[in-house]
Structure 1
Amino acid sequence: MIRSDKGVFWAILLPLIAVLIWSLNIAVTRYVAEYISPVSISFYRWLIAFLILTPWILPKVWQQRELIRPHLKQLAVLSAFGLVLYQGLSYTAANYTTATNMGIINAFIPMFTVLVSLLILKDIPTRFAVLGCIISFSGLLYVIAQGDLRQLSQLTGHAGDMLMVLAVFFYAFYGVFLKKWNLKLPLMLSLYVQIIFALLYHLPFILWFGLDHLNSQNGLSVLYAGIFPSIIAPLVWMLAVQYLGPNRTSIFMNLMPVFTAIIAYFWLAEVWGSYHSIGGLIILTGIVLAQMKARVHIQAKS
């Protein structure tokens, strides 16, 4: 029992590290937006990840090609939603909004997943889940409007936030499709094939918009994006799921807005306003309400 407790203690650090990496990546995305186009950083990110993974993963992909081949269409769809649409829109949104807002909107992934699950999986949400979504969405509108809901009529001033909401909505599709298909593939093999599709998807955009050169202003940010959030964070998160389980691990995602805001405050000098605190509290209340009801419901059935 003591050994198990120690294992759980150290396992708690795993999702914290992953969320910290992803939070820092949001700040990096906002920082580098002035020095490289969204298409360029998105392409370079997955190119770096591809080059790093290829020596280890490509032989395994070839060995298990018969296992992978039937799932190519599904992996192509996953890549489009999770690696291209979500990431591409996030990089575009960074040109028009703050890292703090991006982190807060990212916390909406569980809420949007409930809605997408209703559309695709026909999973009927509980009344508490619906109430949690409504409360959280109210908090999101409050943050976007900077505490003055009358500003919502001026949509042009919130283009970055709207793009980020759309990005998170696409990522919810990614998660629901993963659940629906439940691919029996090793995580890294699945990720590697999705990266290949992502690089292919970028080619038309590169031909149209061009590709920015790497330099001293954007090089380190691109390198960070290609290594830490693309490879290390998913691996650490996967280990956390193995030790803690998916439900306990997913709770740590709620720390992303907090980590992002702290990083953005000290690094990007972004101001944390009272509307962030009020709206963030409303959002967190809705998320906790939905998750608490889900746990109670499961315990009642068992």
Structure 2
Amino acid sequence: MLLLGRWMGEGPLTAAMKWGVALAFAGTLLIISKGQLQTLTRFQLSLGNLWSLVAAISFAWFSIRARDWTRTIAPLPLMVVTGWSGLIVVMLPVYVVWIAIGGPWFVWNDADAGFALAAVAYMGLAPTMLGNLFYLYGVAVVGAARAAAFLYLSPLFSAAFSILWLGEQLAWYHVGGIAAIFAGLLILGKSGPARLRPKPA
């Protein structure tokens, strides 16, 4: 967004909007790097990074197109269609090949099967189904750019879960990153394109 200087077809980016995105992005980097930004310079690309980049580009394209689609298809049916399409077209063939070459039907480490299945169920229902449903609704209401900005909350929740469930200690970079992300989103929310802002009563 910052490089294009456009609000994804919804008007030009204002200076405040750019600052909001930059601040939220800086907070994300602070959490990911654990306050040691020099670690980012030692980052090495791998095949997994390439797949992640392709996935991010595909998701960005989908987000831009989703607002047009939700004008004729409600967010819930659209989420169901895209979810099942990805499952049948992408995941099912990969799983069938995995089984065909002798892979186990289900793999887990350092946990009992019930706990592993519960984790899979949580991943499928909460972040995958409900998360995407809320995201599509946001795209339909406020547009792709503003809805996508809230993806900066992902490392925030990852840090919170690490502290609550894995015993990670709350550190200054968590607090600083969270503050930067919320401040950026607050600036972004108050400085969006005029035609997207709610009209005063």
TM-score, with length taken from structure 2: 0.63
Q: 1:290 and 1:278 mapped to 2: Cα distance?
A: 18
Match in the other structure for 2:165: 267
Match in the other structure for 1:226: 124
Offset at 1:126?
A: 1.6
Q: 1:254 and 1:281 mapped to 2: Cα distance?
A: 12
Distance 1:168 1:283, change over 3 A: farther
Q: 1:165 and 1:141 mapped to 2: Cα distance?
A: 17
- Secondary structure, in 3 states, of the residue corresponding to 1:124? coil
Match for 1:201 among 79, 87, 90?
90
- Tell me if 1:191 matches 2:79: yes
Q: 2:5 and 2:64 mapped to 1: Cα distance?
A: 6
Residues 202-227 of structure 1: CA deviation (Å, up to 9, x unaligned): 23433554565343342111223333
Matched residue pairs, number?
A: 183
Match in the other structure for 1:281: 179
By relative contact order (CA 8 Å, sep 6+), the higher-ranking structure is: 2
Distance 1:253 1:152, change over 3 A: closer
Match for 1:155 among 38, 43, 53?
43
Offset at 1:178?
A: 0.8
Offset at 1:116?
A: 8.3
Q: 1:192 and 1:261 mapped to 2: Cα distance?
A: 29
- Tell me if 1:213 matches 2:105: yes
TM-score, with length taken from structure 1: 0.45
* 8 Å contact from structure 2 (residues 25, 152) kept in 1: no
Residues 113-167 of structure 1: CA deviation (Å, up to 9, x unaligned): x87894963742222111222222233333333222222111049x999987876
Q: 2:70 and 2:28 mapped to 1: Cα distance?
A: 31
Offset at 1:277?
A: 1.6
Structure 1 portions without partners, runs of 5+: 1-111
- Tell me if 1:134 matches 2:32: no
* 8 Å contact from structure 1 (residues 254, 284) kept in 2: no
Match in the other structure for 2:110: none
Offset at 1:179?
A: 1.6
Distance 1:179 1:299, change over 3 A: closer
Match in the other structure for 2:33: 145
Match in the other structure for 1:71: none
Task: Kindly report which structure 2 residues correspond to 1:101-112, keeping only aligned pairs within 5 A, or say none.
Answer: none
Offset at 1:296?
A: 6.6
Offset at 1:183?
A: 4.2
Distance 1:234 1:279, change over 3 A: closer
Task: Kindly report which structure 2 residues correspond to 1:61-100, keeping only aligned pairs within 5 A, or say none.
Answer: none
Q: 2:156 and 2:3 mapped to 1: Cα distance?
A: 24
Q: 1:300 and 1:192 mapped to 2: Cα distance?
A: 29
Offset at 1:184?
A: 0.8
Offset at 1:229?
A: 4.1
| AA aligned opposite 1:289 | I
- Tell me if 1:294 matches 2:192: yes
> What is the CA RMSD across the aligned residues, in angstroms?
4.5
Which structure shows the bigger proportion of residues in helix conformation?
Answer: 1
Distance 1:296 1:117, change over 3 A: closer
